[in-house]
Amino acid sequence: MTDIVHFVGLGSMGLGMAQSALRAGFEVYGHDPDAGRRLLLREAGGRALEPASPKAEVLVCVVLNAAQTRDALFGAQGWAKGVQTGGVILGCATVGPEFAREMEEEATRRGLLYLDAPISGGAVKAAEGRLSIMASGRAEAFERAAGILAALAETVHRLGDCAGPGSAMKAVNQLLAGVHIAAMGEALCFATSQGLDLARVLEVIKVSAGNSWMFENRAPHVIEADYSPRSAIDIWPKDLGIVRDIAAKVPLNLPLVEAALGEYRAASEAGLGREDDAAITKHTAARAGLRLPGDG
């Protein structure tokens, strides 16, 4: 088992993943710009990641996007310098396949292995060590990361022997997830317009053909008027933008993606960007003058 693991990014996903690694017996060092997140890691038994920290066999990078990934790994701070020669980097952000391949090439130049390893499952599953990881990379990278992958994930999907397919698969997932959340918002607004009780709508749809994981997971946020961000509106212009950019290179027209992307951008511009992505329902309801649970 790998003894020392570094985590860069201790947001809602990264902190839960670090906690799962601690429970599995790893010695965990973590960094996040937010001092409060670093404190939460220390309270869970982890340590602050510093340039002088012991070198790791695995670095798990759980930041927001491609720019943050590049900076965190190979920028001025360059946390990749804290990985042992022959160690492995797990790149967990949602990025395009070309960028993932670029990161793999840079890691190789530095004597490191790289797994293109985007994640899915949400903060709860991250904290439970039950994520789905869509991974691609060299066999040696999978072997070196086997212990930490087992600690973090319920399922590890091996999708190829180089970086790229993992990120492509995550883009497929995000296409569906983003469209499904937008559809959830429209469905709840439509139900409201017809005088239906939203709790009953959830109860019925959960056991009907129209259900989706996103509907079942996000509809309760609307019903409970709880828009504290587990996954924020502002994530979707980025993720669906990645999907659109990948498709444009084919070229492939994705009208549902374009429609959902427009809705998320409009919701963000309306001031909802930092709220839970279930708040797309609030955006749709406001345009129709509909009252949702919690509206005064």
Which pLDDT belongs to residue 87?
98
Q: Measured between alpha carbons, how far is 93 from 69 in angstroms, rounded to an integer?
A: 7
Give the residue carrying structure tokens 């993943």: 17
Q: Measured between alpha carbons, how far is 167 from 199 in angstroms, rounded to an integer?
A: 36
Which pLDDT belongs to residue 77?
87
Q: Rounded to whole angstroms, what are the CA distances from 238 to 39, 175, 185? A: 28, 11, 19
Asked if 170 is an active-site residue, the reply is yes
**CATH superfamily membership of 167-288:** N-(1-d-carboxylethyl)-l-norvaline Dehydrogenase; domain 2 (1.10.1040.10)
Which pLDDT belongs to residue 1?
45
Q: Rounded to whole angstroms, what are the CA distances from 249 to 100, 136, 177, 260? A: 16, 21, 22, 20
pTM of the predicted structure, to 2 decimals: 0.94
pLDDT in tens, the chain (296 residues): 459 999 999 998 999 999 999 999 999 999 999 999 999 999 999 999 999 999 999 999 999 999 999 999 999 989 999 999 999 999 999 999 999 999 999 999 999 999 999 999 999 999 999 999 999 999 999 999 999 999 999 999 999 999 999 999 999 999 999 999 999 999 999 999 999 999 999 999 999 999 999 999 999 999 999 999 999 999 999 999 999 999 999 999 999 999 999 999 999 999 999 999 999 999 999 999 999 999 97
CA angle 71, 120, 140 (to 5 degrees): 65
Instruction: Please pick, among 55, 81, 125, 170, the residue that the annotation labels catalytic.
Output: 170
Question: Which ranges constitute the DSSP H helices of the chain?
Answer: 12-23, 35-43, 66-74, 97-109, 122-128, 139-144, 146-152, 165-193, 198-205, 213-223, 235-248, 255-267, 280-288
Pairing of strands 131-135, 119-120: antiparallel
Tell me: domain 4-163, CATH 1.20.200.10, correct?
no
DSSP string computed for 213-236: HHHHHHHHHHHTT----SSBTTHH
Tell me phi and psi for residue 118, to 5 degrees: -60, 155
Structural domain spans, the chain: 4-163, 167-288
Q: How many CB atoms lie within 10 A of CB 160?
A: 15
Q: How many CB atoms lie within 10 A of CB 140?
A: 12
